[in-house]
Amino acid sequence: MENVSPKPEGEKKQDFVQIQLAGTIIPLSGRLLVGIGMLEDGKIKLLYAESIGNCEIVDGVPVNFPQFVESIKYGLSRAESGSKAELFSITAGLNGGGVVGLNSRGAIFLSDLKRSVTKRDIEKAVAAAGKIELSSDRTVLDIIPVSFSVDEARGLENPEGLEGNRLECEAHVITCRTDAKESLVKGVAKAGWKLEGIYYDGWGSAISGCAGDTTVATTLLIDVCDSHTDVMLLKHGRPRYTAIFPLGQKGIASELAKAVNVSVVSAKKLLAEHAAVGVSDGFTLESGVEVAVAADGGFPAKGISQGEIWTLTEKSYRPMLENIAKDLQIRNLIDGIDCVAWGGFAGSVRGLPELTRLYISGAARQLPMRTAGTFSDPLFNRLEGGLMYSFSRRKTSSPMMASAPQGIVNKIKDWFKDLI
């Protein structure tokens, strides 16, 4: 038998700790947002985030599917390498894809004799609320519970443990195009990853920016994305209306480029840096300040005033606001809105709150663009919301854990101290 030298006194076995990790991808029009986060003491820390190009998506469907798969592989590989973490599964946010939100109710019978409501009963009631008739080209993407009822007791947030004969769930059901959802599922599978869940990307943004604030009765979130705008009406943090409007940052930049005869690249820069003219009591401020535009893409150098930039930007946002207000009016939802929150690319356009009040009552504000380390993106809220969605889903199932040596965890803590 082989002699084994005893370990020196005082030497301890390497301790291992468990950390809960989550990875999220969000396919956008022309790029892919990728992020990995860690849950610690109820708080999420972003370990890595990046925007990967070469991922053309039209209405939720990849134009080049093999290229889409490679973008997922490349993005997640970089995320794992950059975060020094190993993932087992990911969640994916559906962006576009003809998303529509519907309000629905579903109920289950508990017993002739009253009995306590269990978690399984709640799951069944939620599933019942999601059973709605759809055409073959559409499917249910997510079922978001709004409230529960047990017999005559209504407006319950969590009915577990209450006794009754009947359990009812009121839910907001997110539907989408079947091909958009299937292409995302297949893309993740082809890339060699297990898909933990798919969520509506606009809901992820709402989770991050507005849904946590349950003190405000009714909030309208208008979140401008790359190729469209997501709109959600939240009552006490729960969705009651979901719609997608076709105009996004790309379209606004294209219109500005045509109007002032500059490249689209220059127009995007003008929107990001100078479409921020303040408006007070109907008067445009800083309108006379001139901005120099460098020659680019065959277009000559020129100057343009901030007032002209705002006027042209307003021409894009005004019809969008008119259409949103009209749709809410048709659905009898226009009244009682306490706050309108602008997010995404609209977060830096300072004149929007004043413009909003012409169409929708209530206070208007803009969600601040947050950053983590060197990562900065107008759609950061969506990435943060995706990670929050991932961890919240695990509360009702066994969490997926990743083991790592204590030394590596300490390094992660040292390197990434910024909270999302």
Q: In what order do the strands lie in the sheet with 363-366?
A: 238-245, 229-235, 218-224, 339-344, 363-366
Answer with the one of 177, 194, 220 that is the final residue of a domain: 177
| Mean pLDDT calculated for residue range 110-123 | 92
Q: Model confidence over 215-243: pLDDT tens digits?
A: 668 999 999 999 999 999 999 889 999 99
Range of the domain at 127: 100-177
Q: Residue 17's pLDDT is what?
A: 46
Q: Residue 281's pLDDT is what?
A: 62
The reply to whether 147 falls in a domain is yes
Residues 58, 198, single domain; the answer is yes
Q: Model confidence over 59-109: pLDDT tens digits?
A: 889 999 999 999 999 999 999 999 888 888 899 999 888 999 999 999 999
Residues 89, 188, single domain; the answer is yes
Q: Model confidence over 124-182: pLDDT tens digits?
A: 999 999 999 999 999 999 999 999 999 999 999 999 999 999 999 999 999 999 999 99
Q: Model confidence over 179-213: pLDDT tens digits?
A: 999 999 999 999 999 999 999 999 998 988 876 66
Residues 23, 93, single domain; the answer is yes
The reply to whether 235 falls in a domain is no
Q: Residue 283's pLDDT is what?
A: 62
Residues 27, 148, single domain; the answer is no
Answer with the one of 177, 192, 212 that is the final residue of a domain: 177
The reply to whether 287 falls in a domain is no
In 110-237, where do the E strands start and end?
Answer: 115-116, 138-150, 153-156, 163-164, 166-177, 194-200, 218-224, 229-235
Q: Residue 213's pLDDT is what?
A: 64
The reply to whether 314 falls in a domain is no
Q: Model confidence over 236-250: pLDDT tens digits?
A: 889 999 999 989 999
The CATH number for 381's domain is 3.30.420.40
| Mean pLDDT calculated for residue range 49-57 | 88
CA distance 340 to 356: 8
- Number of domain units in the chain: 2
The reply to whether 145 falls in a domain is yes
Residues 70, 110, single domain; the answer is no
| 98 DSSP 8-state letter | S
The CATH number for 141's domain is 3.30.1490.110
